[in-house]
Structure 1
């Protein structure tokens, strides 16, 4: 499976994957209020740190980055290098405008870092 159908599928997959907000999930699982209701109103790791402490912030940051690395690995495996950034765009758009939380998501920083970290490793050697 190559070409545009693969790109469109992976873009949609990345959007849905990016739409899963780990800070909101973590707060719901622990019985806390929505992180968007306090602090900066952003459901990212920094706001989680302000509300729940360093442990939860690190967990959210690593979850977001880990998801982005996984999406980058899949994209780098199945697509030519020039199509991979489009999948990253889908991931970040999913995080910014999440379909699961009223199209109000995070800033996409951890997703950007995770998505660009993996492909940059070979360049540094």
Structure 2
């Protein structure tokens, strides 16, 4: 099934901008400051996502960051689906992911997009999102390494899409997976060297 390609180019650009601005809200940085944890970009890995917030020791702030970062990806998809065609849904979701990774408010130095990725997948197709989340959770439970779990979940997401009869999502998922791997290049180097920190380590 091919997505409905009916949204005019100008409207697609507007959906891309809306998705980007929504995704660019740096909830990790905002919550770290609100909880008195300092500048998150100077903590641990310097990443603005939930895993680095967890390294501060504040589980509440980390959980809220995870929910909100996932929520903005889901919101971009759901809003676009309510108001536009499926091509706009994919554009808005992808742009929300880009916004998290390259937020204008932080000099285009953002997070790695894993929570936003999972959130937009849950909104795009709930079974697909559940499969990706289960893949992340299973890998994290076995190896206790967040980055490895993210890489495995991203790599398998196009496979899950095909298994659930969603070929229209494969191109989007491949693009997201490539970006996740690019954003995790330092983590991949540490994984290969056996030096990647485990979940919960400050």
TM range (shorter): 0.7 to 0.9
Secondary structure of 2:125 counterpart = helix
Q: Which runs of 5+ in 2 are unaligned?
A: 1-6, 129-163, 165-202
Which contiguous aligned blocks of 4+ residues in structure 1 show a shift greater than 4 angstroms?
none
Aligned-residue offset at 1:18: 1.1
Is 1:18 aligned with 2:23? Answer: yes
Is 1:84 aligned with 2:85? Answer: no
Query: Aligned ranges for residues 20-39 of structure 1 at < 5 Å?
Result: 20-39=25-44
Query: Aligned ranges for residues 89-100 of structure 1 at < 5 Å?
Result: 89-100=94-105
- Aligned partner of 2:8 in structure 1 is 3
Aligned-residue offset at 1:50: 0.9
Checking the alignment, whether the CA contact within 8 Å between 1:6 and 1:79 is kept in structure 2 is no
Match of 1:104 among 96, 104, 109: 109
Distance 1:122 1:32 in 2: 36
Checking the alignment, whether the CA contact within 8 Å between 2:73 and 2:97 is kept in structure 1 is no
Aligned-residue offset at 1:122: 7.0
Is 1:49 aligned with 2:51? Answer: no
**TM-score, with normalisation over the residues of structure 2?**
0.56
**TM-score, with normalisation over the residues of structure 1?**
0.88
Checking the alignment, whether the CA contact within 8 Å between 2:40 and 2:47 is kept in structure 1 is yes
Aligned-residue offset at 1:16: 0.9
CA displacement, residues 69-117 of structure 1 (integer Å, 9 cap, x when unaligned): 1111111122322342221221111111110011100011111111111
Q: Which runs of 5+ in 1 are unaligned?
A: none
Match of 2:74 among 65, 69, 72: 69
CA RMSD, 1 decimal: 1.8
